[in-house]
Chain A
Amino acid sequence: MAPEPPLLSMSGITKSFPGVRALDGVALDVQAGEVHCLLGQNGAGKSTLIKVLAGAHQPDTGTIHWRGEPVTLRSPIAAMRLGIATIYQELDLVEHLSVAENVHLGHEPTAAGFVVRGKVARESTAQLLKRLGHPEIDPARLVGELSAAQQQIVSMARALSHDVRLIVMDEPSAALDPDEVDNLFRIVGDLTAAGVAVVYISHRLEEIRRIGDRVTVLKDGRAVAVGLPAKTTPTREVVALMTGRNVEYVFPERPAKDMAAVGQPVLEVRGLARNGEFEPLDLSVRPGEIVGLAGLVGSGRSEILETIYGARKPDAGQVLVDGRELRPGSVRAAVRAGLGLAPEERKAQALLMLESVTRNVSVSSMSRFSRGGWIDRAAELGAARAATRELSLRPDNPNVPVRTLSGGNQQKAVLARWLLRGCRVLLLDEPTRGVDVGARAELYAVVRRLADEGLAVLLVSSEVPEVLGLADRVLVLREGRVVHTAPARELDEHRVLDLVMEGSPAS
């Protein structure tokens, strides 16, 4: 007799969005009764993968087998009918409906086909909540009145109200305190004991150690490790898989001169802090220098950049450019002083997706091609062409809509914007997020060249090799605090990983 086929088997799953390949041949096997952990950084493809699994996205290629049979998950309903339930990180509950109404949303117990039997719904909900260890939640209460943790339970009750065989939990512990996490784990244990499979997504490695059976690691839309034993794989190995290089990038050479000795810092940050996000921070960047901030998700790295840029208002501290303090919380003041930001979420925060490359590049320098508000479009096009050519943006036609560009070229369009503006301090937040692996080396070379031309660069990245390879000096962040500062050449990947993981069981 052939061995029992896995409950779920996905292979060769590919999914592209305009400008980026979110999943690139991903495979995932889940056995009945196991807790299968999915690990990966933001943008690694986890959410796309679970949306494919939930029937919310259709893969471009790839096959899905359910209990040995090939299936297509055309819609969330199709997935639900098979017994696949998903609990999203942003809870998809209707705040103005009651707990029972939410739990039974879309499959209300009815009389005569349309009259909702409220009492039946409330009773079955009460039973589910009891099973989940939360009998105190009243099925008649409005979901909006519940705490985040209670909402999580309701979401889980909703998943269990179906005949479920596989539950996907997207960072279920993010909103919970330790007691509630214990309860969550108890529920997960009950479920798996009953033969239900759980796909568990979390950034917290210690959780994975506690409840996980196997681990699949995603990076850049690929599964870089499949089915590792969750309890015994060394932490460092897991982190290295998540953050490490899987291609030997060619990093540009650093200039020989010692940056610390050259000139006055153009950007100085003194005691900058935001409550709950990061603790008072001091740093300075000199012209020609690339300073890197290394840290995991939640270390406060993006928040620091955005606060320096004025997009967030600091609770304390100052940002100085050439020794002059910037008005806190003003992007315009920062831009006027010569700061430029290439944000992490390029599409949401930087690009005008309906517009041409030219207009995306010129948007911060319009006064330069205009007189009295009238734009000299020939000058605009010429300048945009010069800036994009300097960065070898492809295709070499600034009239194309920016949304048709690849991720790397979209990033170049953002850099060209600040190049054209004549910016002096470039803030780079995850500059290679969503950029194809092959295009990264070119982007690194561009950044180094801009620095060599006198730009000060502050780089944030969760990819340790990227920070070590590109930056001159590195600040290691952990939970909103700088735990180490050193020249990049004095650090290695293992040392940084230990620093960012400090406090976790380093094995």
Chain B
Amino acid sequence: MTQHASPPRDSTGKVPSAGAPPAWRGLMARADVRTLSLLGVLAVLIIIGGITKPDEFLDTRNLQLVLTQASVIGVVTVGMTFVIVSGGIDLSVGAIVALASVWATTVATQEYGFVGILFTAVVVGLGCGLVNGMLIAYGAIVPFIATLAMLASARGLALQITDGKTQIVTVPSVLDLGERDAYVLGIPPLVMVFAVVTIIGWLILNRTTFGRRTVAVGGNAEAARLAGIDVRRQRLYLYLLSGLCCGIAAFLLIILAGSGQNTNGNLYELDAIAAAIIGGTLLSGGRGTIVGSVLGVLIFTTITNIFALNNLQSDVQQIAKGAIIVAAVLVQRRTASTT
């Protein structure tokens, strides 16, 4: 029965039959209807892109472009997924990315070069996450309010640091990471970071006690408490994790944009939440997958790409994005109730 070592944690209500099912059915049960439907959506998008713009869309450079553009918000979404699975929400991710990116690109920080920028971005992210976590876990402030307050404060602080000015990065080792010369086997470094964060996120959520506690807290906080889990400490760690992801994302954004600006990360919170939701994460907590969230990010990025390649304007893009969110949630509810 070793092929059943993985219980169907993303279960869509499918009850594996009592007898030992054939191997392929076990596989099907595990490869989750939700994930398959997301892959289906992505496949449809790729077909649309391939038909409308065969030369520009089906191109290695375009693949590199889509994945690169997905990296920054993708890393944020991984952190957000953890928070939502735990039954929380982090509205401050965009503001934390902005704050970390401007703090890490001040003239003073840039003097410390690559390490200084990376260190500052990560520490600022963690610091904001720590404040969020303390307020929520030990200050008993609901996540919506605490992170909304962080959103306002971090944006304000970012504005104060920059004075509204764009901070150009002059550290060559940072800028070089965004250039084509830095690609390894055709993979941009940003995409590699995104991939590593995704894999680590998946491992933590599915293979560690930390992930289990996260799911337990989100599924039923009272039951988790009575089962002996330190719910408050878990919540603190989760917002720290989200802050860390924001810090990493800020560093990626600095590489990508070659600068820091207080307007960075605009509406990341909504993009990350939307990606997690269409990826199958329950907004009420207790269920969610990293793979689904990342597919959600890729779907959004691919749509943006196809629309831009076809020279469609942002109004149409926004309408399509809204429609996709509703459609994805409806399709998932259907598949979830029929299986």
Do chains A and B directly touch (beta carbons under 8 Å) in the complex?
Answer: yes
Interface residues of A (CB under 8 A from B): 309, 311, 331-332, 334-336, 341, 343, 348-356, 358-359, 362-364, 366-367, 370, 373-375, 377-378, 381, 395-401, 404, 417
Which residues of B in the span 1-40 have a Cβ within 8 Å of any Cβ on A?
Answer: 2, 4-9, 11, 13, 15-16, 18
Residues on A with C-beta less than 8 A from B208 are: 370, 373-375
Query: Is A356 touching B7 in the complex (CB atoms < 8 A)?
Result: yes
B230 contacts which of A332, A341, A377, A381 (Cβ < 8 Å)? Answer: A332
> Could you jot down 17 A-B contacts, CB within 8 Å?
A309-B226, A343-B226, A348-B222, A349-B220, A351-B223, A352-B219, A352-B220, A353-B220, A354-B11, A354-B219, A358-B7, A359-B212, A363-B212, A370-B209, A374-B208, A375-B207, A399-B7
Chain B, range 202-222, C-beta contacts under 8 Å to A: 207-210, 212-213, 215-216, 219-220, 222
Could you tell me if A375 and B223 are in contact, using CB atoms closer than 8 angstroms? Answer: no
- B155 on the A face (CB < 8 A): no
Q: Given A373-B208, A375-B209, are A349 and B8 also a contact pair (CB < 8 Å)?
A: no
Q: Contact at A377–B207, with CB atoms within 8 Å?
A: yes
Decide: B228 and A336 in contact? CB cutoff 8 A.
yes
Known: A354-B286, A377-B5, A399-B7. 9 other contacts (CB 8 A): A336-B228, A341-B226, A350-B226, A351-B223, A352-B286, A359-B9, A370-B209, A398-B7, A404-B15
Report the separation of the CA atoms of residues A376 and B120 in the bound assembly, to the nearest whole angstrom. Answer: 36
Given contacts A349-B226, A354-B287, contact A366 B219 (CB under 8 A): no
Size of B's binding interface in residues, CB under 8 A: 33
User: Given A370-B208, A373-B208, are A352 and B216 also a contact pair (CB < 8 Å)?
Assistant: yes
Q: A356-B11, A366-B212, A397-B18 are in contact. Are A378 and B2 (CB under 8 A)?
A: yes
Q: Report, nearest first, the 9 A-B pairs whose CB atoms are least far apart.
A: A335-B228, A352-B219, A356-B7, A366-B209, A399-B7, A373-B208, A364-B227, A363-B227, A370-B209
User: Closest chain A residue to B217 by CB distance?
Assistant: A352
CA of A378 to CA of B223, assembled, Å: 24
The answer to whether B219 and A353 have CB atoms under 8 Å apart is: yes
Q: Which residue of A lies closest to B220 (CB)?
A: A352
User: Closest approach, in angstroms, between the C-beta of A397 and any C-beta of chain B?
Assistant: 6
Does B123 sit within 8 A of A, measured CB to CB? no
Chain A residues with Cβ under 8 A from B222's Cβ? 348-349
- CA separation between A331 and B229, bound complex, in Å? 9
Contact of A396 among B18, B210, B212, B215 (CB under 8 A): B18
- A374 CB to nearest chain B CB (Å): 6
Contact among A350, A374, A401, A404 for B227, CB-based, below 8 A: A350
> Nearest chain-B residue to A421 (Cβ)?
B228
- Distance A130 CA – B7 CA, assembled complex (angstroms): 62
Contact string, B260-288, partner A, CB cutoff 8 A, digits 1/0? 00000000000000000000000000110
Asked whether B333 is an interface residue with its Cβ less than 8 Å from the other chain, the reply is: no
Please, how many angstroms separate the alpha-carbon atoms of A373 and B18 in the complex? Answer: 31
Chain B residues, CB < 8 A from A398: 7
Cα–Cα distance between A336 and B222 once the two chains are bound (Å): 18
Please indicate the chain A residues that have their CB under 8 angstroms from the CB of B65 in the complex: none
Q: Any chain A CB within 8 A of the CB of B224?
A: yes
Shortest distance between the CB of B235 and any CB in chain A (Å)? 15
A375 to B212, CA, bound (A): 9
A363 to B229 alpha-carbon distance, docked (Å): 8
Q: Are A348 and B219 neighbours in the complex by a CB distance under 8 Å?
A: no
* Residues of chain A contacted by B8 (CB below 8 angstroms): 356, 399, 401
Contact A356 B9, beta carbon cutoff 8 Å = yes
A343–B229 Cα gap in the complex (Å)? 16
Q: In the complex, A397→B4 CA distance in Å?
A: 11
CB distance from B292 to the nearest CB of A (A): 15
Q: Report yes or no: A348 in contact with B7, Cβ–Cβ below 8 A.
A: no
Tell me what chain A mostly uses at the interface: helix, strand, loop, or mixed: mixed
Give Cα distance in the complex from A43 to B297, angstroms: 45
Across the interface, which residues of A come within 8 angstroms of B5, CB to CB?
Answer: 377-378, 381
Cα distance A398–B227 in the bound complex, in angstroms? 18
Q: Confirm or deny: B180 has a beta carbon within 8 angstroms of a beta carbon on chain A.
A: no
Closest CB-CB distance, B91 to chain A, in whole Å? Answer: 25
**Shortest beta-carbon distance, A481 to chain B, in Å?**
26
A479→B234 CA distance, assembly (Å): 38
Q: Which residues of A contact B209 (CB under 8 A)?
A: 366-367, 370, 373, 375
Closest chain-B Cβ to A383's Cβ sits at a distance in Å of 13
Residues of A within 8 A of B6 (CB): 377
Any A CB within 8 A of the CB of B225:
yes
Q: How far is the CA of A341 from the CA of B216 in the complex (A)?
A: 17
Interchain CA distance A343-B220 in the complex, whole Å: 14
Within 8 A of A (CB), among B58-80: none
Note all chain A residues with C-beta closer than 8 A to B16. 397, 399-400
Most chain A CB atoms below 10 A, which of B4, B16, B223: B223
Contact A359 B7 (CB under 8 A): yes
Q: If A335-B228, A358-B7 touch, does A401 touch B216 (CB 8 Å cutoff)? A: no
A326 to chain B, nearest CB (A): 13
B207 A355 Cβ-Cβ under 8 A: no
Whole-angstrom CA separation of A351 from B215 in the bound complex:
12
Candidates B2, B13, B210, B219; contact of A355 at CB < 8 Å: B219
Looking at the assembled complex, report how far the CB atom of A333 sits from the nearest CB atom of chain B, in whole angstroms: 9
Q: Which of A331, A354, A355, A401 contacts B228 (CB 8 A)?
A: A331
With a CB–CB cut-off of 8 A, which chain A residues contact B230? 332
What separation, in Å, do the CA atoms of A430 and B286 have in the docked complex?
Answer: 26
Instruction: State the Cβ distance, A394 to closest chain B Cβ, in Å.
Output: 9
Q: How far is the CA of A364 from the CA of B228 in the complex (A)?
A: 6
Roughly how many angstroms separate A491 CA and B16 CA in the complex, as a whole number? Answer: 48
Q: Which residues of chain B have C-beta atoms less than 8 A from A331's C-beta?
A: 225-226, 228
Contacts of A359 in B (CB 8 A): 7, 9, 212, 215-216
Within the assembled complex, what's the spacing in Å between the Cα atoms of A260 and B212?
Answer: 42
CB closest residue in chain B, given A367: B209
Chain A hits for B7, CB < 8 A: 356, 358-359, 381, 398-399
Tell which of A343, A352, A404 touches B215, judged by Cβ atoms closer than 8 Å.
A352
The minimal Cβ–Cβ distance linking B212 to chain A, given in whole angstroms, is 6
Closest to B219 in A: A352
**Are B15's CB and A351's CB within 8 A?**
no
**Distance, CA A230 to CA B46, complexed state (A):** 73
Q: A343-B226, A370-B209, A375-B208 are in contact. Are A348 and B15 (CB under 8 A)?
A: no
The docked-state distance in angstroms from the alpha carbon of A334 to that of B2 is 35
A29 CB to closest chain B CB (Å) equals 38
Q: How distant is A302 from chain B, measured CB to nearest CB, in Å?
A: 12
Inter-chain CA distance A42–B289, complex, in Å, is 38
A349 cross-chain contacts in B, Cβ below 8 A? 220, 222-223, 226
B210:A373 contact, CB within 8 angstroms: yes
List residues of B (221-248) whose CB comes within 8 Å of A's CBs: 222-230
How far is it, in angstroms, between the C-alpha of A318 and the C-alpha of B122 when the chains are bound?
46
Contacts of A399 in B (CB 8 A): 4, 7-8, 16
Measured CB to CB, the nearest residue on chain A to B286 is A354
Residues 130-145 of B contacting A (Cβ, < 8 Å): none
Cβ-neighbour of A311 out of B216, B219, B226, B287 (below 8 A): B226
Q: Which residue from chain A places its CB closest to the CB of B2 in the assembled complex?
A: A378
Most A CB within 10 A of own CB, among B2, B7, B227, B287: B227
Residues of A within 8 A of B287 (CB): 354
Question: Could you say which residues of chain A place their CB within 8 Å of the CB of B207?
Answer: 374-375, 377
Does B223 lie within 8 Å of A348, measured CB to CB? yes
Q: For residue B216, which residues in chain A have a CB less than 8 angstroms away from its CB? A: 352, 355, 359, 363
